[in-house]
Structure 1
Amino acid sequence: MAKLIFVNLPVADIAASTAFYEQIGATKNAMFSDATTSCMVFSDTIHFMLLSHERFRTFTSKAIVDARGMTEVLTCLSEDSRDEIDARIATAIAAGGREDTDAAQDYGFMYGRRLEDLDGHSIDLMWMDVEAAAKAMQPPAN
């Protein structure tokens, strides 16, 4: 069985955050959702658990960071093309998110941009031409 990833994010408004993640391509799994939690599915192996602050606090005694002013984690999702990254960024902005102020990363064989959700959580989007990356990463011949 493939390993699964569940990214747990504290959010201020479950309904608004659920709508935002649906707009950027995730699907809500109702079986693992309730008034305090939305399980947002990006793929068979990638899930974002949106948790109200109260629900999130049941999993940790540490303070919840303000993701608008501090970086807690950088989560990166792959896309199939540069155009898909640009389209998802545009969709995120239209849905109330914003593009991060850090510049896009463009190495020719790899392209990435970052968006922020309604609570300021960063999501990196990345596309890579694996064959071109392998060639670019090879050490020079002597």
Structure 2
Amino acid sequence: MAQMIFVNLPVKDLETSKSFWTKLGYSFNPQFTDENAACLVFSDTIYAMLLTEARFKDFTKKDIADAATTTEAILALSADSREKVDELVDAALAAGGSPSNDPQDYGFMYGRSFQDPDNHLWEVMWVDVEAMQRATAEGGE
């Protein structure tokens, strides 16, 4: 069985978060979704558990970071092309997300970022692996 990852994120309003990600074309696993949590499906092995802050506190003794002022993590998603990077980030911004960092364009790698409604930082990246390997072999970065 392939290893899976479940990223757990606190959210202030679960319905707002679910609506945001649905507008980006993602779905939720109903087996792990209720009034306190929603299992956001990125792929067969990658999930984000969106947890109400009260439910999130059940799993930690630490304070919940205020993502509006503190960066707790930067979550990166791959994309199949430069165009797909733009499509996903543009959809995120249209769905209520906000801009994050400036776009990164290295020719063989392109990325943009956004913040979701709870201010979690997301990057969407495309990499042409063959072009990156050629650039590296030629002494580039």
Q: With the length of structure 2 as denominator, give the TM-score of the two structures.
A: 0.95
Q: Which runs of 5+ in 1 are unaligned?
A: none
1:63 & 1:132 partners in 2: Cα distance? Answer: 43
CA shift, 1:21, in A, is: 1.0
Shift of 1:25: 2.5
Query: 5+ unaligned residues in a row in structure 2: which ranges?
Result: none
The question of 1:38 aligning with 2:49 is answered: no
> Across the two proteins, how many residue pairs are aligned to each other?
139
Q: Which residue of 2 aligns with 1:73?
A: 73
Q: Which is richer in helix?
A: 2
Q: Which residue of 1 aligns with 2:116?
A: 117
1:134 aligns with 2:130: no
**Aligned ranges for residues 53-64 of structure 1 at < 5 Å?**
53-64=53-64
Identity of aligned residues (%): 47
Runs of 4+, deviation exceeding 3 Å: none
1:23-48 C-alpha deviation (Å, 9 max, x unpaired) = 11221111101100000101101101
Letter in 1 for 2:85: I
